[in-house]
Structure 1
Amino acid sequence: MIDPKMGKEYGYAMDQQIGSKTGRWLRRRDAWMRALVGNEFVSRNGKLVGIHLALRLSAKKPYTYPAMKTIGKALGISPRHVARALKELEDEEWLRVRRQPGRSSVYSLDL
């Protein structure tokens, strides 16, 4: 894929621009997203929630903690469907969840 602003292909040029550690992390995250989307056993909402969470992460902050209501609103699904999707992703070991009583859970990818 070519970036119109840079006129270069993504990949190696991206590593040079943003640092090789960050570039490697982005490639692992992108491979995780492709594997999730290609998995026929994960539900549509599971894929939707997984991709949404993955896009909220970065190499500097590889975790996120949105509320289920926030995720649902962004994706146009109910918080109950979000909860089911998160449970599915956690049970299938696509996602790590650290629960915090009285606060939003913290999510990270199982890269």
Structure 2
Amino acid sequence: MQDEPELTEAGKWYRDRDEWCRHLMGRTYLTDAQKLVGIFIAMHMNRVDNHAKHQQTTIAKDLGIHVDTVKRAIKRLRDDDVALIDREQLQRGRRNRAVNRYRLIFPWS
């Protein structure tokens, strides 16, 4: 068996993100909408800063679901018993619209 080359930092980041997605998909207590929102956030992560910035209305529009569904999904993904993502609310733009910054929480770390 050949020795596998060590992953680059980018490779490790993508491996961890993909492992997080697999972990999320295996949570039977989450609804399909909650999993969908979680996967959306994970797929839009900025590898350099390790976060995703999106308005909940943008997530809802991109996924074709209601914004209230997105809000409930994010709330559930942030619950203490689940704790798969962290959210920080930011202010951005001339209209001072709220933008959320999401970070993945890796339960195995």
Q: Is the shorter-chain TM-score for this pair beyond 0.5, marking a shared fold?
A: yes
TM-score normalised to structure 1 length: 0.79
Task: Name structure 2 gaps, 5 residues minimum.
Answer: 92-96
Match 2:83 to one of 90, 93, 105: 93
Match 2:19 to one of 31, 55, 73: 31
Matched residue of 1:103: which SS?
A: strand
Overall identity of the aligned pairs, in %: 31
Task: Name structure 1 gaps, 5 residues minimum.
Answer: 1-11
User: Counting strand residues as a fraction of each chain, which structure ranks higher?
Assistant: 2
Distance 2:98 2:22 in 1: 30
Written as runs of structure 1 = structure 2, the 5 A alignment for 1:54-69 is 54-69=42-57
Distance 1:38 1:23 in 2: 23
TM-score normalised to structure 2 length: 0.80
The question of 1:105 aligning with 2:93 is answered no
User: Counting helix residues as a fraction of each chain, which structure ranks higher?
Assistant: 1
Q: Which runs of 4+ in 1 moved over 3 A?
A: none
1:65 CA displacement: 1.4
1:99 CA displacement: 2.1
Written as runs of structure 1 = structure 2, the 5 A alignment for 1:71-82 is 71-82=59-70
Q: What is the count of residue pairs matched by the alignment? A: 96
